[in-house]
Chain A
Amino acid sequence: MLINRRAFLERGIALGSLLALPRISWAQGDPGTKQPGARTLVMLHLNGGNDGLNTVIPHTDPWYRVLRPGLAIDDGRIRKIHERFGLHPALAGFEQLWKRDRLAIVNGVGYPNPNYSHFRATEIFYTAQPERSPESGWLGRAMDAKPSEKPLRAIALGKEKPLSLQCAAPGIVTLTEFKQFKLPEDMQATVEMYEASRDLAGERGAVARRALEAIDVARRIASLNPVRTSFYGALGRELGKVVALLRSDLDLEVIHLSFGGFDTHANQAASHNRLLAEVGNNLNAYQAMLDKAGIADRVTTCVFSEFGRRAGENLSGGTDHGSAYPLFLIGKGVLPGIHGAYPSLEDLENGNFKYTTDFRRVYATLLREVLASDPGAVLGAFEPMELMA
């Protein structure tokens, strides 16, 4: 549709015109035509509510310094990747990704009547059903909508399965360490019992077959080693596992992970700097590894948060819970550039940014383009965006 989309976007043509372009009629059309082709969606939750205004900075907007008298980044330190937008100085990694056409920034991501509780707002981003109590996750519903015989479809790093992957479909496991999947060596006789029961009728056979698949997957996971070089910190450790999983033959549809600490109510400057550096540097190294491994074309990474932060800073050198924020898509398949209108810094709602891009439109895009799933069945009527090349 667009020959040189990056150039088109970078020239700063009003973003609204993008929305006026003819769209693929996914609603009547045929989401099944896109081949799944073993693509993986990696969802990284920046837990606590990332300060979007100091992450993607509208550096030409005079209101920026009005809202943030203490926390505004010095103009000379902003990484100006675009005539209107710059990155936080700690995001050298994202600047690298941007230069390599691996970064899509989606501004103003939110939803109507935003919730300011971490718990509830996380539920909303995980279920994509703000008006309902949580039953199933948006990715879980995508799994349910496309049943698969595969014993393993998604991995959530951490202890508890996130609500986003809650569903009826099996094949979703949580993982803290690869070695957690290692069966004690003296348990071969146990596995033999399952082999011997494989062909039994009824639940006995069903249990044996399911467990054997699970054991096989467990062996494959246990044989992996996390990548340690080039990564650092807690997020680096997790991404080292993600790279190992992506390079393996596990053929995962989704990997979920989360990185906390973004709830910066007080003395935000130093901690936010450290957090963004860890995000940017590690994700840049991660993407470089995927490129090097030749698997970049089948992995898309989405970096989101449960909310952004209040437009104005508070009296403690921090920011309180807010609403709309910039979300990032990283990968070889993304349409690099700036997407979605940046919310007005002047026209606020209870001191918060008004969202311009419903997060469910981003999800609809990921469902259609990455997971080859029908967004309508999972989300209802939310139109995918042009975020993927």
Chain B
Amino acid sequence: MGTLLEGNAATGHLLRRAGFGLSPTDAETYRQLGFEGSVRRLLDELTEPAPPDPEGFDPYVPGTIQQVWLDRLLGGRAPLAEKLALFWHGHFATSDAKVQEPLLMWRQYGLFREQGARRFGELVERVSRDVAMIRWLDGNANRKGRPNENYGRELQELFTLGIGNYTETDIREVARAFTGWGSRHHDFVFTDAFHDHGSKTVHGQSGDWDGGDVVQIITGLSRCHEFIATKLLRFFSRPDPTTAEIAEIATVLAKTGGDIRSALFVLFRQPAFRDTSRERALVKSAVEYMVGALRTVGAEQTPLWVHGALERMGQILFRPPSVKGWTEGTGWLNSAAVVERFKAARRLGAAHADAGEWILDLAFDSRLPPTLSSMLESAQGAPRVTLALASPEYQLA
């Protein structure tokens, strides 16, 4: 184990992971709170309700739900709550390409925002009743006598246990337990006539289970705790968490009935989280990059061009490419995306030349990588902002 990040370096690191970096308006607040104080504040905000929808909010106007969410990410209120919602959006990856109902997508985001930091089991149960998810994974086609295994499979493969930790029998039986869980218009409906009341055996436990029962059984398994611990660590801490780090978070989940907030509290305070060797260890997703850059330069709203830029960078909110979610790591940096990140950096530099004053402080906590320091320090104004945002260092959180 190396040395720990301290002072502004630790706070900056925390906010890049637990949020979208520092902005000129909130940097001072977090820096005064310091690392520990900022962790507490970010976690306290997890229980606050989400802000109300803006006046005149109409999810059916194309681009609206993306714009409103991006503005929230940018605004910096309860950044961990928003970051966690983004994590769950990628985890339970549901796309409006199939759901075709932005209102339902927006409600699903609301669910992540509201339930995302509470008990994982309850989150999964509510996701199982979520109408966007039901449409996405064919819940309405899952009926007694002709079960549709789509949700039963993805629930275990992608959402709770991971491949290899369930059998084909578990998939069939879980699908049977969810028969009759469907939707009408925008609402969840349970149709008893479609539900299979026979006995099911799921992970060794038998009974007339319904969807809620099997979610309880599955989310109580230690493999589930490990799976979720690993995913949280890979998103917030490092791409290759150690078994000890995973075990520590999994234990918290086991002891607290799956409480995500408790798991995050321990995760951010693991020495490994703020070890200097873990600094800049995660490649920013397109949204993390774009929102972070807008925050760093002090933008107050998401400019419209950002939507097209994000599309070319490979990430449209509410439209993940598949149920597996978005790519990760250097997978974000294909030719189209790199060019687009550079162009965005240039555009933001031109529009926010004044950010040259603070960008080295906010983007790098005034700790410039030696390979870049002379270039960045000799540039001024717009070119400096562009260089900072386009730098290899800034692609990493």
**Within 8 Å CB of A161, what residues of B?**
314, 321
Distance (Å) between the CB of A157 and the closest chain B CB? Answer: 12
Distance (Å) between the CB of B139 and the closest chain A CB? Answer: 11
Residue of A133, A163, A171, A217 with most chain B CB atoms under a 10 A cut-off: A133
The verdict on A208 contacting B339 (CB below 8 Å), with A180-B312, A190-B387, A214-B334 known, is no
**Within 8 Å CB of B158, what residues of A?**
135
A119-167 residues with Cβ-Cβ distance < 8 A to B are 119, 132-136, 151-152, 159-161, 163, 166
Is A204 in contact with B280, judged by CB distance below 8 angstroms? yes
The verdict on A190 contacting B391 (CB below 8 Å), with A203-B282, A217-B335 known, is yes
Complex Cα gap A159–B337 (Å): 12
Is B337 in contact with A184, judged by CB distance below 8 angstroms? no
The verdict on A132 contacting B391 (CB below 8 Å), with A163-B321, A184-B343, A196-B371 known, is no
Is B312 in contact with A133, judged by CB distance below 8 angstroms? no
Complex Cα gap A133–B343 (Å): 36
What is the interface size of chain B, counting residues whose CB is below 8 A from a CB of the partner?
A: 52
A167-216 residues with Cβ-Cβ distance < 8 A to B are 168, 170-175, 180-184, 186-187, 189-190, 192-194, 196-197, 200, 202-204, 206-208, 210-211, 214-215
The verdict on A135 contacting B335 (CB below 8 Å), with A174-B312, A190-B386 known, is no
Is B387 in contact with A215, judged by CB distance below 8 angstroms? no
Is A204 in contact with B375, judged by CB distance below 8 angstroms? no
Q: Does B28 contact A (CB under 8 A)?
A: no
Is B335 in contact with A152, judged by CB distance below 8 angstroms? yes
Closest B-chain residue to A197, C-beta based?
B392
Distance (Å) between the CB of A197 and the closest chain B CB? Answer: 5
Q: Is the interface of B mostly helix, strand, loop or mixed?
A: helix
Q: Does A285 contact B (CB under 8 A)?
A: no
Distance (Å) between the CB of B294 and the closest chain A CB? Answer: 19
Q: Does B323 contact A (CB under 8 A)?
A: yes
Closest B-chain residue to A126, C-beta based?
B322
Is B390 in contact with A193, judged by CB distance below 8 angstroms? yes
Is A133 in contact with B338, judged by CB distance below 8 angstroms? no
Q: Does B369 contact A (CB under 8 A)?
A: yes
Q: Does A227 contact B (CB under 8 A)?
A: no
Q: Does A275 contact B (CB under 8 A)?
A: no
Is A134 in contact with B342, judged by CB distance below 8 angstroms? no
Is B330 in contact with A207, judged by CB distance below 8 angstroms? yes
**Within 8 Å CB of A170, what residues of B?**
327, 330-331, 333-334
What is the interface size of chain A, counting residues whose CB is below 8 A from a CB of the partner?
A: 48
**Within 8 Å CB of B375, what residues of A?**
189, 192-193, 196
Complex Cα gap A173–B283 (Å): 18
Distance (Å) between the CB of B90 and the closest chain A CB? Answer: 14
The verdict on A175 contacting B336 (CB below 8 Å), with A183-B342, A203-B283 known, is yes
Q: Does A255 contact B (CB under 8 A)?
A: no
Distance (Å) between the CB of A113 and the closest chain B CB? Answer: 11
The verdict on A135 contacting B322 (CB below 8 Å), with A189-B387, A193-B392, A207-B396 known, is yes
Q: Does B372 contact A (CB under 8 A)?
A: yes
Distance (Å) between the CB of B310 and the closest chain A CB? Answer: 11
Q: Does A90 contact B (CB under 8 A)?
A: no
Q: Does A43 contact B (CB under 8 A)?
A: no
Complex Cα gap A329–B330 (Å): 35
Closest B-chain residue to A165, C-beta based?
B321
Complex Cα gap A214–B330 (Å): 11
Q: Does A385 contact B (CB under 8 A)?
A: no
Q: Can you give 21 contacting A-B residue pairs, CB < 8 Å?
A: A134-B323, A135-B322, A161-B314, A166-B322, A170-B330, A174-B314, A181-B335, A183-B342, A187-B346, A190-B345, A190-B391, A192-B375, A193-B390, A196-B375, A197-B393, A200-B369, A200-B371, A207-B283, A214-B338, A214-B339, A215-B338
Add 15 more A-B contacts to A181-B336, A193-B372 (CB < 8 A).
A135-B322, A159-B312, A163-B321, A170-B334, A173-B336, A183-B343, A190-B345, A193-B390, A197-B372, A202-B277, A202-B281, A203-B239, A203-B281, A217-B335, A221-B335
Residues of A within 8 A of B (CB): 119, 132-136, 151-152, 159-161, 163, 166, 168, 170-175, 180-184, 186-187, 189-190, 192-194, 196-197, 200, 202-204, 206-208, 210-211, 214-215, 217-218, 221
- Nearest first, the 7 closest Cβ-Cβ pairs linking A and B are A214-B338, A218-B335, A210-B330, A217-B335, A214-B335, A173-B336, A190-B390
